[in-house]
Structure 1
Amino acid sequence: MSGVGAPAVEANLDGLVGPTHNYAGLSPGNLASQTHFGALSNPRAAVLQGLAKMKLLADLGVPQFVLPPHDRPDFAFLRSLGFGGSDAQVNEAAWKTAPLLAGAAWSASAMWAANAATVTPSADSADGRVHLSAANLVANLHRSLEHPQTAAQLRTIFPDESHFAVHDALPSQPHLGDEGAANHVRLCAEHGAPGVNLFAYGRDAYVPWTHPFPARQTREASEAVARRHGAHRPVFLRQNPAAIAAGAFHNDVVCVGARTCLFYHQTAFEDPAAMRDKVRRAADGLFEPQFVEVSEAELPLADAIASYLFNSMLIEVPGEDRLVLIAPMDVAENPLAHAVAERIAASNGPIGRVQYVDVRESMRNGGGPACLRLRVVLTPAQLTAANPGYRLTDALHRRLTAWAEHHYRDRLTPADLIDPAMIRESREAMNALDDLLSRPAST
């Protein structure tokens, strides 16, 4: 097992956008998803934008891994609902009689790797291993289909059980609704040092929820994940119902943290003062937390959600003494959000600069730079033990780019998914990807 406190880095595991990326409006409470329902998507641009972000991080010196898309459409799901015949017949019947179910079967939502799992690094776990729990995502039908394949992929990427423990999802029922790392933040003095694990939840499972948009994460699910991981110093914080009602369906829409810094909107938590007190007490003797709060007066919540300022990635770049905020281009184009980002970078605080990335295709479905990645803290031994075939190198980036340009459409609407040709195209793309990722790793 890995030694606690060993030198470590924070690696990113990014979801590779799938060939069926479309705007089917399947997520209530996700304003971007609802706004762009039925619009024309560009799967090729989406996957290339995601690959460009991965390449940027790898070039900055951050270890970068690829999480493959899921096989879509999910015919096992549709057949379990009574649709029969050939795959083409199943697809046609589903779209004709139950289009919402068909849309769920075709969804490429596994691209948002922040929802893939919750991660506890070895410095914080009871047995000194990295623990990863696949999220059940029961709040939305299309996402609830993901966790079996997600768990299998995580075991492929992190196969050595002496270093890694990959857990199946919690039982799939609403009392244990779990949305993964989108509702989790880890703070620490150094990545390999003991830290504080912040678990944000929307509701208590046994208390009626009367707000218009769902609170997807339950306290009971957060506690169960922390318990099964043996997570040290967990802090459970309730999301502000007003933020959920405004469209912050995950806490990472209004909050991001790294190292000792927690960057958040004033409305992110139900009781910000109590949050700060709990974090300080949990961190006592380890580090002094740095809170970077943005007020409603400076940046209205609506602008924070529209721009996804807080769905930026907050990363440690080798050779830089302050954190870097990897923000979506939408922040640069929103005057209020841009002013906040630039003010913070110009201050003497923990965030030293902002770098903007174009992930517009993901943004239109409600996923910014932080949604596309799962953070996994790894010691040098754990980094070596991870499957090298999934680590992004210049060579793998070139191969994935060529693969996407060959297999992905540049125009797609949900109606196009009725076309039997899309079944064939999706399978061909996934078969080619399996072959590509199984090749020996090269630099």
Structure 2
Amino acid sequence: MLNDYPLLIIHLVPFSTDAYDSFYRNHADIVILDTSVLLPYENIIEQFKQCRWNYTVLLLSNNKQQHPDEDQCLYLDNNYFNKKMFANILNHIVLHTETMRQDRLKLAINWHGTHHLEIHPDTYCLAFIKTYANDQSITKNKLQQFTHQATTLCMLTEIFHTQNEALFYISRSSITKDFSLNLLGQLSSKLFGLDSAFIYQRNINWQQFGDHCLTLKHYQNYSVFFSGKIINLSERSGLNIHNLSLNHLNEQCHQLLKALLTADSSLARHLLQYIYLHLIKNSWSMKALVYVRTSLEFWGKLIHTPFDFSSYRSVESELDGLLQSPLLLPLHYQSSSLQKTLTATVLSICKNYASGWSLDQIAQDLCLNKIYLTRVFKQQFNYTILETIQMLRLLYAKYYLIFSKRTVSDISELLGFASVGYFSKFFKNNEGCTAMEFRKNNDLERELYL
């Protein structure tokens, strides 16, 4: 009898332990619960309320008076329930469903241009694909293969695609019993490469479809962390970021700098891989990524070997670029004793640049003559010690302006400047704008990642 109603997805619940999971997986229109053998059914109904599509629960009961009133629940007395009554209920639900689906919602999705679409009352999934390898671009041919191979799971409707991004929606009414977004993600990886990303969001009410597209678009600011991932956005609601100890990150950056100064390229490579693939990749934290970039930018300036981070679209590609860059080439010193002296000097600067240390204090702590220290430092790096300290202060000033809510006065004090006036003059002379102008120009990034 149920086969006569192909428009409806009907779910018979055999056991309470898997009732909700099966219901959610199948996106059912009708759930039939026999309260005489399935208790406590109230907990199952409470779970159903999390779902945003229109559904009906048929409660088969011997005593309607025992059950409280619930929205979307119909109570059927087992003593009088028969096939004709059930057919009438199904016909009523079919009529209601067909009436609802006559409605339409016109949307304009502003993402890589404006895309117009029209959807009907239903529940939807959004699926987003992003590629990272140059030889795995998103072509029409590959999209056709993808949508064709996905037909065993669902019908994909394209909203837009570019050379390395594509957005689809899936209506609940088009999914099959084998539907799984993880399987769809695996299919995407096979076609678009293992370093591509598949991001999805499910259980979207049709009236909130446009809002969820904006949420997904907002997530693209984190796309540097997506490579090789299948991501369920509903599990990361609210842009939750994994906790990452910045003290631990700072210690790893310190060890990395020490390895670079001592020309231990093998250790430097190992530390870079650990920092990028373990700490940064898993944290989804741009704050952490830019902190590491700041340390590396300092090293690049110190050895006069700049590195452009802007050209890399993923954590992995940035790491590969660093591993192949001249930044990791061993430094050459005139002697091992000079290496120890200059390594200790740079590490001391990095540790104490914000404490207002003078050259006298640095030389005293290292038990060295300050004239000798000044000369060998300048010869090796072509910077004075004061210039190196100011270079580091400027880099971290920009970092704090973007990634903290501290006032300019607080940042000035934090970095060891004698006065906020001196800091402001120093910042403008080096950046060509005031600290507040710099913060305002980077305000979007600051708000997004804090």
Scaled by the length of structure 2, the TM-score of the pair is: 0.23
Hey, which of these two has a bigger chunk of helix by percent? 2
Point out the structure with max Rg over C-alpha.
2
Scaled by the length of structure 1, the TM-score of the pair is: 0.23
